[in-house]
């Protein structure tokens, strides 16, 4: 009788064990599925973020300004200036062809490059910058001023870069003034001269367009009697958020006052380009690389 009872118990135990085993297998399978799902979600999020950041940093936009000013002479009516700023060795398409094509769409009379064509935070590439400059001179005359990054180059690198620009036909304005059209002066400030008064380069009876890399020196540009300044350097604040605007900019820190757009300071107007590339902070968000296109109307 006892033997029969033990046999029944053994059978029950075996059944229980099988049940537990089956349950464990089901639990393990569910766990594996959950882990696989989590990995898939992480991969999908990383892929989406990568596409999002890539798009934010490669989608070129043209910002057009129709600019007028009571001081403008008739001679500049219909004139178009394209501003390229803070390329920081970025490349848009093979040999920057996408960037060049956008510039061609604007049909500019001149291109002004407002500094930081090269980058000195780990991806300096002088040949890329020179190749773009050379192609740009095939579109129209190109004027250039230095930014801070050109001064981070070694003296030898800087000489190579600047002589390469001149060889490709770029006109370097080293704190000097030229007549652009009748009654309009184009003044280009070297990045080392942004602190100094430059009213000696201004023709007060004419309209004075100034190229100056750093926007936070606006008080000096205004007190020197600039009429319109083309500036850059701030990279639009790198990350732009609604209401807040740009988050941070070199030499201005968080919540920069001068990060993009057309601003007015006393009798001086200043257009701040958000620029095209990145430097030590390697990406931009909600802040597409920008080509500025200004059309003048008398």
Residue with Cβ nearer Fe ion (148 or 252)? 148
Q: Which is nearer to Fe ion, 185 or 233 (CB)?
A: 233
The residues with which 290 forms a beta bridge, in sequence order, are 61
Q: How far is the CB of 234 from Fe ion (least distance, A)?
A: 8
Least separation in angstroms between CB 212 and Fe ion: 11
∠ CA 104-292-153, nearest 5°, is 95
Nearest approach, Cβ of residue 239 and Fe ion (Å): 17
Residues 6+ apart with CB under 8 A from 250: 148, 233, 234, 235, 279
Which C-beta is closer to Fe ion: that of 91 or that of 233?
Answer: 233
The CB-of-167 to Fe ion minimum distance in angstroms stands at: 24
Q: In the complex with Fe ion, which residue's Cβ is closer, 148 or 225?
A: 148
- Closest by alpha carbon to 69, among 79, 56, 59? 79
Smaller CB separation from Fe ion, 57 or 225: 57
Q: Please name the residues in contact with 21: beta carbons below 8 A apart, sequence gap of 6 or more.
A: none
CB of 246 to Fe ion, least distance (A): 14
Neighbouring-strand partners of residue 294: 65, 81
Identify the residue whose tokens are 């291109």. 111
For Fe ion, the binding residues (CB under 5 A) are 116, 147-148, 233
* Percentages (nearest 5) of helix, strand, coil residues in the chain: 40, 25, 35
Contact present, 138 and 169 (Cβ < 8 Å): no
């Amino acid at each position: 009788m006892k033997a029969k009872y033990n046999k029944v118990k053994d059978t029950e135990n075996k059944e229980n064990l099988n049940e537990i085993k089956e349950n464990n297998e089901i639990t393990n399978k569910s766990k594996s599925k959950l882990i696989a799902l989590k990995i898939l979600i992480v991969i999908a999020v990383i892929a989406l973020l990568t596409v999002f950041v890539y798009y934010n940093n490669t989608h070129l936009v043209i910002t057009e300004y129709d600019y007028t000013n009571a001081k403008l002479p008739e001679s500049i009516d219909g004139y178009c200036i394209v501003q390229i700023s803070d390329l920081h060795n970025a490349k848009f398409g093979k040999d920057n062809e996408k960037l060049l094509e956008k510039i061609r769409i604007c049909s500019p009379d001149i291109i002004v490059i407002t500094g930081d064509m090269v980058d000195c935070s780990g991806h300096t590439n002088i040949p890329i910058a020179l190749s773009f400059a050379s192609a740009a001179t095939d579109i129209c005359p190109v004027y250039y001023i230095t930014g801070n990054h050109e001064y981070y180059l070694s003296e030898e690198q800087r000489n190579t870069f600047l002589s390469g620009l001149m060889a490709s036909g770029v006109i370097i304005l080293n704190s000097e003034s030229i007549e652009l059209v009748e009654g309009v002066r184009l003044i280009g400030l070297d990045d080392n001269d942004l602190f100094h008064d430059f009213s000696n380069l201004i023709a007060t009876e004419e309209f004075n367009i100034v190229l100056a890399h750093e926007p936070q020196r606006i008080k000096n540009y205004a007190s020197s009697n600039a009429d319109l300044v083309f500036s850059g350097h701030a990279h639009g604040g790198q990350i732009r958020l609604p209401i807040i605007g740009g988050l941070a900019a070199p030499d201005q820190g968080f919540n920069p006052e001068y990060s993009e757009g057309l601003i007015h300071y006393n009798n001086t107007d200043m257009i701040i380009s958000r620029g095209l590339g990145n430097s030590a902070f390697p990406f931009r968000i909600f802040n597409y690389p920008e080509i500025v296109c200004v059309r003048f109307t008398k």
